[in-house]
Amino acid sequence: MTAAGLQIANEDVERPVSLASDGKAALKSHHWYRNWLGLIVPLALAGLWEAATAAGLVTGRLFPPPSRIAVTLYALARSGELWVHVSATLSRIYGGFVIGAAAGTLLGAITGSSALAKRLLDPSIQALRAVPSLAWVPLFILWLGIFEASKLALISLGVFFPVYLGTATAIEEVDRKLIEVGRVFRLSRVATIRRLLLPAVLPAWVTSLRSGLGLGFMFVVAAELMGASEGLGYLLLDGQQLGKPDEICAAIVAFALVGKASDSILLLVSRPFLGWQDISRKSL
């Protein structure tokens, strides 16, 4: 082979390698851009809020600007008070989430797979689902006192309903053709559940877990009104009683940041189990 031919062959070998590396770099850049894109809206709103306060369009006493909220958060974090409240709230939420999600998954699987169980249990559960969260507070205080047990019970109840409903609905709506495929390939009942039914139910179940986690953050505020001396809900109440709107807003921002971080962790943990999905979002 001539020198010119060798040079052309080497270029043909090197070109796909360089194209692949360029593609990986472009993909990483796209992921970085997509992940940080969500900061545009909150930063823009914070900038508008700050500008409106500086221009005198909004009173800074009742509506503290983001700069004052950031200073309050920094002061709470520096003193260690913020971490005490965050850890107390997270321990309650995560404890209640585990209990409520386990109970909701179990009962949802039972009612979703058994018509008799659904007729017996589902009407009562759906009726209880309509009861407001604050209506349970005096009952749990009467039964369990004002300590951690009543708080965990209330949060677990809030997590239970969306997980139960999502699990039961996902099982009921499994495509009948999947069962027929299992029969055609002579899969055992265990193999049919593991290889066909679980992958079909898993996406809806993860969505119900996210909804349950979000309701857990909502119920924890009501739970921390039951005689708590620590937690972000207590920080909200303390700010209200002492007339500190910057502390109230700081607690709300802390709730938002911690809630978003918890939801992201749940998505990250579930991602390996949902990688098989060929959905349209992946092409966007």
pLDDT at 58 exceeding the cut of 70: yes
Say if residue 155 is in the same domain as residue 234. Answer: yes
Query: In this predicted model, which residue has the larger pLDDT, 16 or 78?
Result: 78
Q: Which of 17, 38, 58 is the last residue of a domain?
A: 58
Say if residue 54 is in the same domain as residue 173. Answer: no
User: Do 179 and 158 touch, CB atoms closer than 8 A?
Assistant: no
Q: Which of 58, 74, 105 is the last residue of a domain?
A: 58
Say if residue 36 is in the same domain as residue 83. Answer: no
Say if residue 44 is in the same domain as residue 123. Answer: no
Say if residue 116 is in the same domain as residue 230. Answer: yes
CATH of residue 206: 1.10.3720.10
Tens of pLDDT, residue by residue over 157-178, are: 999 999 999 999 988 887 777 7
Percent of the chain's residues with pLDDT above 70? 83
The predicted structure's pLDDT at residue 176: 77
Tens of pLDDT, residue by residue over 82-130, are: 999 999 999 999 999 999 999 999 999 899 888 899 999 999 999 999 8
pTM of the model: 0.80
pLDDT at 279 exceeding the cut of 70: no
Tens of pLDDT, residue by residue over 144-158, are: 888 888 899 999 999
Confidence of residue 78 (pLDDT cuts 50, 70, 90): very high
Full domain range(s) for residue 35:
1-58
The predicted structure's pLDDT at residue 281: 55
Number of domains in the chain: 2
Say which residues have a Cβ less than 8 Å from residue 211's Cβ, sequence separation at least 6. 162, 163, 166
The predicted structure's pLDDT at residue 9: 46
Say if residue 53 is in the same domain as residue 152. Answer: no
- In SS3 terms, 17-81 reads as HHHHHHHHHHHHHHHHHHHHHHHHHHHHHHHHHHHHHHCCCCCCCCCCCHHHHHHHHHHHHHHCH
Say if residue 214 is in the same domain as residue 78. Answer: yes
The predicted structure's pLDDT at residue 284: 46
